[in-house]
Amino acid sequence: MFEVVRKQALNPTVTLMEIRAPLIAKKAQPGQFIILRVDDQGERIPLTVADFDRVKGTITIIYQIVGATTRQLNALRVGERLQDFVGPLGMPTHTQGLRKVAVVGGGVGCAIAYPVAKKLSQQGCTVHAIIGFRSKELVILEDEFAAVSQKLCVMTDDGSYGAKGLVTDALKALIDAGEVYDQVIAIGPLIMMKFVCRLTKEYGIKTMVSMNPIMIDGTGMCGGCRLTVGGETKFACVDGPDFDGHLVDFDEAIERAGMYRGFEHGRHEEACRLFQEEE
């Protein structure tokens, strides 16, 4: 069983949780993910490894409370345990040989972008981080990004914190100011990654994206996370989750990502009613 050793609310809908899982912590790398179940009747959900501590033997996950399972997960207290916690799964983010990188994170996707920026910094790479949120109250991991970046741009849609605008506005401004990047790494909502890739394609800058659609088994058997990359079918859980963003069919991915929205809303409402009855 996997014990919750730390829990912290990062904003009203996003929580950080540190889980004791020494075997996974021993091998985990930025870009990889785990699959967990809260209890023996729960559904399997994938969450990206947000950080790890090989000495303490812990894995940090950061999740947004959007459905029944994440609500159930968020009900756990420090000292309680998860039923299953499997990983690390997926391919690690490639960071070797990169000298200057712009890491772009959007919303809760910053939880995935942060360990990548951290590893790049540890390898001596110059990191410029751009993180975007809808408003000030949703900002997460600002201090963590600041600690591993030579430049940090915080953007909010409404201008309530940092600079007003989109992450693409900040990235374009940096490029136009003369910054030259070996690569851009973009992680966040599909629509954000789509427009980051559209911008970087104009400038001829290689761009990697982390594709985190619905994953179920984490082995490529179920086909739930398939997507089209360069005209070929790929599976995010085993071939990725990182892919060349200029080759990803984002329109197809966005359409598929919305297929289960109605079901997820229904499950969320059921969970809300259940927790209200318990209270």
Paired tokens of 41: 């009747």
What pLDDT is attached to residue 213?
Answer: 64
Q: Evaluate if residue 231 carries a pLDDT over 90.
A: yes
Q: Evaluate if residue 62 carries a pLDDT over 70.
A: yes
> Are β-strands 100-106 and 58-64 bridged in parallel, bridged antiparallel, or unpaired?
unpaired
- Choose between 183 and 253: higher pLDDT: 183
What global pTM score does this model have? 0.87
Alpha-helical (H) ranges within the chain are: 22-27, 68-74, 110-122, 142-148, 167-176, 190-203, 236-239, 250-257, 261-278
Q: Evaluate if residue 27 carries a pLDDT over 80.
A: yes
**DSSP string of 140-201, one letter each residue:** -SHHHHHHH-SEEEEEETTSSSSEES-HHHHHHHHHHTT---SEEEEES-HHHHHHHHHHHH
Q: Which domain holds residue 134?
A: 100-257
Whether residue 148 is found in the same domain as residue 249 = yes
Whether residue 70 is found in the same domain as residue 122 = no
What pLDDT is attached to residue 261?
Answer: 58
CATH of the domain at 169: 3.40.50.80
| Range with the poorest average pLDDT among 31-45, 117-131, 140-154 | 31-45
Whether residue 198 is found in the same domain as residue 249 = yes
* Residue 268: inside a domain: no
